Amino acid sequence: MTAEAPAAVRSMNLGGAINAGLRAAMERDPKVLLMGEDIGQLGGVFRVTDGLWKDFGDHRVIDTPLAESGIVGTAIGMALRGYTPVVEIQFDGFIFPAFNQITTQLAKLHYRTKGKLSVPVVIRVPFAGGIGAVEHHSESIEALFAHTAGLRVVSPATPQDAYDMIQQAIASPDPVLFLEPKARYWDKGEVDTARVGTQLEAVGGAQAATAEMSRARVAREGKDVTLLAYGPSVRLCLQSAELAAADSVSAEVIDLRSVSPFDMETVLASVKKTGRAVVVHEAPVAFGTGGELAARIGEKAFFHLHAPVMRVGGFHMPYPGSKFEHDYLPSVDRILDAVDRVMAH
Partner 1 sequence: MAGIGPLSEEGLVRLLDHEGRRVEDATYDPYVSHLTMDDLRAFWRDMTLTRAFDLESTSLQRQGELGLWVPALGQEAAQIGSAHATRLPDHIFPSYREHGVLHVKGIDLASIMGMWRGMEHSSWDPTAYGVHTYTLVIGAHAPHAVGYAQAMDWDGLVGSGDPEKDGAVVCYFGDGATSQGDVNEALVFAAVNNAPVVFFIQNNQFAISEPTTRQSKVPLAQRASGVGIPGVRVDGNDVVAVHAVTRWAMEHARSGQGPVVIEALTYRMGAHTTSDDPTRYRTTSDEQYWKDRDPIARLETFLTSADELPEDFKAQVEADGKELARRTRESVKGWQRGPVEQMFDHVYGTPHALVQEEKAWFNRYEASFADQEVAK
Ligand X SMILES: Cc1ncc(C[n+]2csc(CCOP(=O)(O)OP(=O)(O)O)c2C)c(N)n1
Pick out residues in 187-216 that bind ligand X (CB under 6 A).
Answer: none
Contact between 1 and partner 1 per CB under 8 A:
no
Look up residue 220 and give its amino acid: R
Query: Is residue 161 within the footprint of ligand X (CB under 6 A)?
Result: no
Site for ligand X in 31-50 (CB under 6 A): 37
Distance CA(283)–CA(313), nearest Å, equals 6
- Among residues 8 and 117, whose Cβ is nearest to partner 1? 117
**Touching partner 1, residues 58-77 (CB under 8 A):** 59, 63-67, 69-70, 72-77
Angle, in degrees to the nearest 10, between helices 264-274 and 289-301: 60
Site for partner 1 in 204-263 (CB under 8 A): 206-207, 210-211, 214, 260-263
Which letter does DSSP use for residue 6 in this model?
P
**Among 337, 335, 267, CA closest to 305:** 267
Q: Under the phi-then-psi rule, with left for phi > 0, alpha for psi from -120 to 50, and beta for the rest, what region is 257? A: left
172 near partner 1, rule: CB under 8 A:
yes
- From the number of C-beta atoms within 10 Å of its C-beta (0-12, 13-18, 19+), residue 200 rates as buried
Terminal CA-to-CA distance of the chain, rounded, Å?
45
97 binds ligand X (CB under 6 A): yes
Residue numbers at the binding site for a second copy (CB under 8 A)? 69, 93, 96-97, 99-100, 103-104, 107-108, 111-112, 135-136, 143-144, 146-147, 149-150, 260, 283-284, 286-292, 294-296, 298-299, 302, 305, 307-311, 315-318
Which of ligand X, partner 1, a second copy, none does 73 bind, CB closer than 5 to 8 A by kind?
partner 1
For position 73 contacting ligand X by CB under 6 A, the verdict is: no
Q: How far is the CB of 50 from a second copy (least distance, A)?
A: 28
Contact 269, 297 (CB under 8 A): no
Q: Do residues 52 and 23 lie in contact, with contact meaning Cβ atoms separated by under 8 Å?
A: yes
Residue nearer to a second copy on the CB measure, 85 or 290: 290
| Residues annotated as part of the active site | 137
Nearer to partner 1, 16 or 129 (CB): 129
**How far, in Å, CA of 144 to CA of 61, rounded?**
28
> For ligand X, which is the closer residue by CB, 9 or 66?
66
